Amino acid sequence: MNSDDLTFWKKVNLRQRLLRDIADPVILETHGGRGKLYSACYSYVERGMVIEKNLEKAERLARQRPTWRVYQADSVSVLRLGLGRTMPFNVLDVDAYGSPWETIDAFFASERVRVPKLWLVATDGLRKVTTVHAAWITNSLKPIVKRRGNNLHDQYLSACFDMLTEKAAQGGYVVSTFDGYYCGFSNQMTHFYAVLTSSK
- Contact between 175 and 161 under an 8 Å Cβ cutoff? The reply is yes
Give the CATH number, domain containing residue 171.
Answer: 3.40.50.150
Count up the domains in the chain and report the number.
Answer: 1
Confidence of residue 158 (pLDDT cuts 50, 70, 90): very high
pLDDT band at residue 143 using 50, 70 and 90 as cut-offs: very high
Q: How confident is the model at residue 194 (pLDDT cuts 50, 70, 90)?
A: very high
Contacts of residue 93, defined as CB under 8 A and 6 or more positions apart, other chains included, come to 15, 27, 28, 29, 30, 37, 120, 121, 122
CA 39/CA 84 separation, integer angstroms: 22
Residue ranges making up the domain that contains 117? 3-198
| pLDDT tens by residue, 37-54 | 999 999 999 999 999 999
